[in-house]
């Protein structure tokens, strides 16, 4: 058997030839590597050795200036102010304690800050600069700079920090920034090297948080040569970053400040929305807090104070708080029935003070009942029995569907923290969440906005704007980013029967302008700017039969946290709506007593873009109103005097 | 060629095989691995942990594996090459399917003592299968379009899979390694001319595709290319690696700063100092002399592979030796070119020096194949 020798065949010769060719190519490429090594290590060695040793190249990040936030009138509501701080680089310092001691002889150091800095230095890499003193005066900076040779690793820096000139008035809208924490770093998936800068400030809540990316901008870099002492020899290269985008809000700060002052002493919230385009002119929650406290890092007692306050100042109640909408929900029930053709507006229902539904007794708010009421009267006098009757014909599914068309039970897209979705309950929801079947009694409760129905003040304002216009108005908080306007929230027609809307609006007009309307006391007497609205009083808990028997029927007999929530939704002018206002006063008692007067005052401020003439108020309250106005003016003035000093 | 034909001439058996081992290659591999241990000891700041100890253990396992592979006759390996390819392919699919969903995008399989990357295994099994394929294929069919297409298919399928991972480095190695064997096998040069022309066209297309809806590479891959072309563009990102690697390399000079004296590579400038960028430490601490020495060791290994390939009496052995030689060459060439700023950063380890189990084990097993071809060569 003859074994063919591969190299003797034609094929084998080709293999040898090609192997040699590839082998030669490989060695040529290796030669290339050797040449490259020679050029890097021998020819340019001096240059690189210099870079590496005598002058180390440092790459520094240049933090961009954070975008400013303006209100609709162009007032700066989130500003950057310069401050000086002193940082220390452990690697360059050598003996950290000795250097800190020397530094302590030159300037006063805060022991808490120092403790934090030591901890941070132990944790981070040696070349990461750590802040040892913040908000240092110019004199102190000068002293440190003069003594720089004796303070290795100490570098004075100038930085920008956030300032909120309007303090607590816009705290819930703008939110606040704070130093990036390990918790933030773990939570957000963000490769931005800026976040590695110690104590870099990022938005924690509100618009500052939701529009963080736009506001932050991008980092610039600076390549510098420093000598062995850490002195900057020269700048090799500098690439400027992009400053953050400026943002303009739709908020009118003047109106917002007025509302915050007007709500003083209550746990309440109010929304003002422009029905034309959905602009949120005000979004106020009271009490509030000073966001500037958080920028510096809030102290423990301050934090505990805010957290333990029963009025919950940290919560942005206007968007986060959800309440049973009470009687402000009745328009939804009525429209659902009307759309289904189950409601004749002229037909009357007899209200005898209560209705029995499957063995349970449901009370109207008026003990003796309203007698015969039609749709118009039921809204004007806020009769409950009327809705107990019609809702049973419509059923919960249609009611909740109508609620969602009006923006209840769905989360509106507003760049604020924890915007509540509220709840428009239906059979499916109850089965899923509660695990029980929907019952007629649930529908009866829901028909007057009690039971499971939940809505936030923002949702109520949107609902009112949609009632007033018949369009799917959506709220808009950001007017423009870097001068580019965001889409308007004008919306398109909801497709609701215009006749039905007209009747509802006529009834809402009478609520505050007819002498038997529930909000007659809070009317606007200027006929051009008549207020249309609906009161709501939502029970926090059911009044038990035992309490009823013991004579406890009114709120004044109850402790604060068990009193009813007071609600009022409104729009004006009644004939040609411009603004919608919703007000919720937590445990305020009744809608007509606690919420409607606030809504009227706020509405007038919005309509007149300033303090309205007294003639717009009914004769009997003018003296009290002018006293109130003086008090509020003084309150606003003193607040700004204080913030100017600080 | 059958087993019988091999027996016509003398083929060593039993422990006599030890006399026929290509000891030069074994010594070279020991020397290269020794350099690796030294460098890992240095980058760990003069400590056996966390890298040197496991690396030594794996090297020992790898050497044993190499001898086991070497002592098994080469025709056995030819017969199981398809099986090996399918196994590696199955594992690739497995990590592609389950690695991405269940295990947080991991690309390895935990074997307890080490993590096996199927893509590393594929580099050798692909060489084996192509060698077996051309051993089986009659010489007159080698350049037939259909048979060429099949070989190309065998290369492209695993390449596409690793490219999806995405692991550009391994894809380049598979593609070039596979292409080299097809070339050695004697496929007509016109195919290669066409492929090279198409390749130039493809590179053009890739750049044209950028920013369009049919973008052919990931954004980060484009950025790496940008960074490679102009490192100063991204001094903090990927360009940072290249700039710092160059500084470390350049500051080594003729003889370097001395063992354990490197500052640049040990000051945490390079996050991958113990894996892909380990050459910078060597070049900084031992200078040009050290770098050239390691390059010399690698060159000798490549040379011995070519010699073993030319000495082989059958096609399978010849192609295995040449193919593994080329794969090994591609490893260190791409890695060094990357570190020296001649190629984009694609993530290929320095063979036998970089810290990592899969590459080392698979490479040593591959050299076992070269040894097996050498031992079982009819004399």
In a domain, residue A41? The reply is no
pLDDT at B44: 79
The closest alpha carbon to A399, from A387, A411, A383, A386, belongs to A387
Distance from CA of A41 to the nearest CA of B (A): 4
Shared-domain flag, residues A305 and A364 = yes
In a domain, residue A53? The reply is no
Shared-domain flag, residues A403 and A419 = yes
Shared-domain flag, residues A271 and A225 = no
The yes-or-no answer on residue A327 being catalytic is yes
Domain tally for chain A?
2
pLDDT at B268: 47
Strand-pair partners of A567:
A536, A584
For the CA atoms of A206, A208, A212, A217, what is the dihedral angle to 10 degrees? Answer: 170
Q: Which site among B241, B247, B253, B334 would you substitute to test the A interface, given the most A Cβ atoms closer than 10 Å to its Cβ?
A: B247
pLDDT at A428: 92
The closest alpha carbon to A369, from A387, A350, A388, A356, belongs to A350
**Contact check, Cβ <8 Å, B378/A41:** no
**Contact check, Cβ <8 Å, B254/A42:** yes
CB contact A47 to B (< 8 Å) = yes
ipTM over 0.90: no
Shared-domain flag, residues A268 and A228 = no
* % of chain B at pLDDT higher than 70: 87
**Contact check, Cβ <8 Å, B326/A53:** no
Chain A residues in contact with B337 (beta carbon < 8 A)? 33, 36
**Residues shown for chain B:** 379
Shared-domain flag, residues A209 and A328 = no
Contact B318, B76 (CB under 8 A): no
Cβ burial of B26 (10 Å; 0-12, 13-18, 19+) is middle
Strand-pair partners of A285:
A269
Domain of A586, CATH number, reads 3.40.710.10
What value does the mean pLDDT take over residues B324-351? 89
Q: How far apart are CA A247 and CA A199, in angstroms?
A: 23
Confidence of residue B174 (pLDDT cuts 50, 70, 90): very high
**Counts of helices then strands in chain A (DSSP H, E):** 25, 21
The closest alpha carbon to B246, from A308, A216, A43, belongs to A43
As a 3-state breakdown, chain A gives helix, strand, coil percent values, each rounded to 5, of: 45, 20, 35
In a domain, residue A529? The reply is yes
**Contact check, Cβ <8 Å, A48/B291:** no
Confidence of residue B297 (pLDDT cuts 50, 70, 90): very high
Residues 223-242 of A with CB under 8 A from B: 223, 237, 239
CB contact A48 to B (< 8 Å) = yes
Cis amide bond preceding A545, omega within 30: no
Chain centroid to Cα A535, Å, comes to: 26
pLDDT at B94: 85
Give buried/exposed letters for A577-604 (b at 16+ CB in 10 A, else e): bebbbbbbbbbbbbbbbbbbbbbbbbbb
Shared-domain flag, residues A236 and A265 = no
Please tell me what DSSP assigns to residue A53: I
User: For A41, which of B288, B310, B313 is closest by C-beta distance?
Assistant: B288
The tokens for B277 are 């960028």
DSSP-derived 3-state class of residue A451: coil
Confidence of residue B42 (pLDDT cuts 50, 70, 90): confident
Domain termination residue (choose one: A198, A217, A249): A249
Q: How far apart are CA A403 and CA A375, in angstroms?
A: 18
Cβ burial of B7 (10 Å; 0-12, 13-18, 19+) is exposed
Backbone φ, ψ for residue A514 (5° rounding): -100, 140
Q: How far apart are CA A186 and CA A204, in angstroms?
A: 14
pLDDT at B270: 56
In this predicted model, which residue has the larger pLDDT, B221 or A574? A574
Q: How far apart are CA A320 and CA A317, in angstroms?
A: 5
Shared-domain flag, residues A227 and A291 = no
- Other beta carbons within 10 angstroms of residue A528's beta carbon come to 12
CB contact A52 to B (< 8 Å) = yes
Domain termination residue (choose one: A224, A249, A274): A249
Q: How far apart are CA B338 and CA A417, in angstroms?
A: 46
Domain termination residue (choose one: A214, A234, A249): A249
**Contact check, Cβ <8 Å, B326/A1:** no
- Catalytic pick among A257, A267, A327, A582: A327
Residues 238-297 of A with CB under 8 A from B: 239
Shared-domain flag, residues A415 and A301 = yes
Domain of A220 in residue numbering reads as 58-249
pLDDT at A54: 47
Cis amide bond preceding A287, omega within 30: yes
Contact A282, A271 (CB under 8 A): yes
CA nearest to B296 within chain A: A30
pLDDT at A251: 95
Domain tally for chain B?
1
CB contact A29 to B (< 8 Å) = yes
The closest alpha carbon to B47, from B193, B39, B340, belongs to B39
Domain of B214 in residue numbering reads as 3-375
DSSP-derived 3-state class of residue A486: coil
Contact A270, A582 (CB under 8 A): yes
- Other beta carbons within 10 angstroms of residue B13's beta carbon come to 11
Domain of A137, CATH number, reads 3.90.1310.10
pLDDT at A384: 92
CB contact A626 to B (< 8 Å) = no
Q: How confident is the prediction for chain B on average, in pLDDT?
A: 83
Q: How far apart are CA B349 and CA B39, in angstroms?
A: 14
Q: How far apart are CA B231 and CA B247, in angstroms?
A: 13
DSSP-derived 3-state class of residue B138: coil
pLDDT at B30: 95
Distance from CA of B43 to the nearest CA of A (A): 17
Cβ burial of B97 (10 Å; 0-12, 13-18, 19+) is exposed
Shared-domain flag, residues A257 and A200 = no
Contact B189, B148 (CB under 8 A): no
pLDDT at B117: 84
Q: Which residues contact A266 (CB under 8 A, 6 or more apart)?
A: A286, A585, A586, A588, A594
pLDDT at B267: 47
Shared-domain flag, residues A186 and A272 = no
**Contact check, Cβ <8 Å, A45/B253:** yes
User: For A36, which of B247, B315, B342 is closest by C-beta distance?
Assistant: B342
**Contact check, Cβ <8 Å, A40/B185:** no
pLDDT at A101: 86
In a domain, residue A34? The reply is no
pLDDT at B105: 47
In a domain, residue A469? The reply is yes
- Other beta carbons within 10 angstroms of residue A74's beta carbon come to 7
Shared-domain flag, residues A527 and A556 = yes
Shared-domain flag, residues A137 and A257 = no
Task: Give pLDDT tens digits for B243-287.
Answer: 777 777 877 788 877 787 666 555 445 556 777 888 888 888 898
User: For A125, which of B139, B268, B303 is closest by C-beta distance?
Assistant: B268
pLDDT at A48: 72
**Blockwise average pLDDT, block size 10, chain A, 646 residues:** 50 86 94 90 74 60 88 92 84 82 84 82 71 82 85 82 90 91 73 73 91 88 62 70 91 94 93 95 94 84 89 93 94 94 90 88 88 92 93 93 94 91 93 91 92 94 95 95 91 92 94 92 92 91 62 69 91 94 93 93 94 92 92 86 53
Distance from CA of B256 to the nearest CA of A (A): 9
Q: Which residues contact A527 (CB under 8 A, 6 or more apart)?
A: none
């Amino acid at each position: 058997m003859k074994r063919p020798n591969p190299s003797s065949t034609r094929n084998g010769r080709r293999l040898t030839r090609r192997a040699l060719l590839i082998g030669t190519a490989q060695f040529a490429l290796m030669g290339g590597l050797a040449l490259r090594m020679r050029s890097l290590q021998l020819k340019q060695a001096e240059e690189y050795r210099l870079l590496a040793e005598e002058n180390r190249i440092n790459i520094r990040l240049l933090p961009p200036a954070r975008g400013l936030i303006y209100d609709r009138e162009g007032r700066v509501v989130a500003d950057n102010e310069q401050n000086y701080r002193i940082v220390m680089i452990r690697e360059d310092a050598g003996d950290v304690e000795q250097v800190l001691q020397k530094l302590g002889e030159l300037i006063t150091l805060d022991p808490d800050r120092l403790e934090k800095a030591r901890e941070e230095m132990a944790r981070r890499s040696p070349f990461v600069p750590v802040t040892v003193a913040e908000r240092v005066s110019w004199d102190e900076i000068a002293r440190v700079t003069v003594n720089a040779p004796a303070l290795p690793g100490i570098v004075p820096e100038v930085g920008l920090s956030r300032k909120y000139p309007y303090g607590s008035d816009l705290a819930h809208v703008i939110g606040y920034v704070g130093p990036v924490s390990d918790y933030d770093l773990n939570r957000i998936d963000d490769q931005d090297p800026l976040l590695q800068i110690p104590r870099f400030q990022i938005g924690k809540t509100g618009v500052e948080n939701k529009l963080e990316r736009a506001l932050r901008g991008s980092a610039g870099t600076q390549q510098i040569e420093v000598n062995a002492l850490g002195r900057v020899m020269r700048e090799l290269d500098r690439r400027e970053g992009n400053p953050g985008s400026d943002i303009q809000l739709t908020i009118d700060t003047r109106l917002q400040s007025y509302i915050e002052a007007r709500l003083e002493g209550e746990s309440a919230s109010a929304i003002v929305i422009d029905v034309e385009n959905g602009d949120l002119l005000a979004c106020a929650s009271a009490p509030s807090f000073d966001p500037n406290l958080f920028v510096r890092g809030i102290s423990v007692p301050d934090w505990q104070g805010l957290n333990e306050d029963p009025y919950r100042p940290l919560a942005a109640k206007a968007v986060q708080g959800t309440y049973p909408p009470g009687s402000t929900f009745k328009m939804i029930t009525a429209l659902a029935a009307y759309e289904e053709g189950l409601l004749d507006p002229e037909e009357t229902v007899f209200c005898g003070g209560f209705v029995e539904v499957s063995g349970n007794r449901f009370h109207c708010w008026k003990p003796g009942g309203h007698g015969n009421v039609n749709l118009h009267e039921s809204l004007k006098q806020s009769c409950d029995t009327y809705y107990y009757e019609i809702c049973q014909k419509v059923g919960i599914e249609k009611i909740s569907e109508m609620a969602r068309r009006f923006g209840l039970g769905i989360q509106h897209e507003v760049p604020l923290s924890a915007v509540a979705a509220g709840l428009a309950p239906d059979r499916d929801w109850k089965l899923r969440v509660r695990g029980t079947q929907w019952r007629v009694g649930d529908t009866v409760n829901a028909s007057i906005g009690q039971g499971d129905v939940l809505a936030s003040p923002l949702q109520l304002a949107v609902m009112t704007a949609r009632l007033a216009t018949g369009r799917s108005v959506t709220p808009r908080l950001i007017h423009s980013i870097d001068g580019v306007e965001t889409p308007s929230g004008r919306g398109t027609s909801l497709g609701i029967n215009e006749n039905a809307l007209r009747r509802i609006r006529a009834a809402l007009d009478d609520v505050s302008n007819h002498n038997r309307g529930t909000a007659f006391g809070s009317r606007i007497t200027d006929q051009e700017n008549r207020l249309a609205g609906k009161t709501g009083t939502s029970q926090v808990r059911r009044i038990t039969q035992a309490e009823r028997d013991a004579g406890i029927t009114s709120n004044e007999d109850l402790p604060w946290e068990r009193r009813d929530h007071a609600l009022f939704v409104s729009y004006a002018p009644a004939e040609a709506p411009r603004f919608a206002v919703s007000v919720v006063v937590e445990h305020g008692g009744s809608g007509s007593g606690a919420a409607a007067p606030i809504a009227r005052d706020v509405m007038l401020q919005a309509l007149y873009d300033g303090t309205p003439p007294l003639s717009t108020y009914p004769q009997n309250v003018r003296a009290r109103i002018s006293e109130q106005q003086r008090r509020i003016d003084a309150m606003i003035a003193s607040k700004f005097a204080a913030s100017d000093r600080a | 060629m059958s087993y019988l034909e091999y027996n016509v001439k003398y083929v060593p058996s039993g422990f006599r095989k030890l006399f026929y081992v290509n000891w030069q290659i074994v010594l070279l591999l020991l020397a290269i691995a020794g350099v690796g241990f030294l460098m890992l000891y240095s980058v760990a700041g003069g400590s056996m942990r966390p890298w040197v100890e496991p690396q030594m253990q794996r090297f020992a396992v790898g050497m044993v594996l190499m001898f086991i592979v070497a002592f098994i006759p080469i025709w056995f390996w030819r017969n199981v090459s398809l099986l090996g390819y399918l196994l590696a392919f199955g594992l690739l699919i497995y990590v592609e399917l389950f690695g991405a969903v269940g295990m947080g995008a991991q690309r390895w399989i935990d074997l307890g003592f080490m993590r096996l990357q199927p893509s590393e295994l594929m580099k050798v099994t692909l060489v084996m299968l192509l060698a077996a394929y051309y051993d089986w294929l009659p010489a007159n069919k080698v350049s037939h379009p259909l048979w060429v297409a099949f070989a190309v298919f065998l290369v492209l399928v695993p390449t596409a899979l690793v490219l999806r991972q995405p692991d550009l480095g391994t894809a380049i190695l598979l593609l070039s390694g596979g292409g080299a064997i097809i070339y050695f096998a004697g496929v007509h040069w016109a195919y290669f001319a066409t492929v090279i022309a198409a390749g130039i066209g493809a590179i053009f297309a890739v750049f044209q595709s950028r920013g369009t809806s049919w973008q052919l590479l990931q954004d980060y891959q484009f950025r790496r290319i940008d960074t490679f072309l102009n490192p100063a563009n991204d001094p903090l990102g990927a360009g940072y690696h290249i700039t710092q690697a160059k500084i470390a390399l350049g500051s080594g000079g003729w003889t370097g700063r001395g063992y354990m004296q490197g500052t640049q590579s040990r000051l945490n400038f390079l996050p991958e100092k113990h894996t892909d960028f380990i050459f910078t430490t060597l070049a900084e601490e031992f200078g040009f002399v050290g770098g050239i020495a390691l390059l010399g060791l690698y060159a000798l290994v490549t040379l011995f592979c070519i010699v073993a390939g030319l000495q082989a009496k059958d096609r399978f052995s010849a192609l295995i030796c040449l193919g593994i030689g080329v794969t090994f060459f591609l490893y260190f060439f791409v890695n060094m070119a990357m570190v020296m700023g001649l190629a984009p950063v694609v993530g290929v380890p320095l063979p036998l020096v970089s810290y990592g189990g899969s590459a080392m084990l698979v490479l040593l097993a591959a050299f076992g194949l070269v040894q097996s071809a050498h031992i079982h060569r009819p004399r």
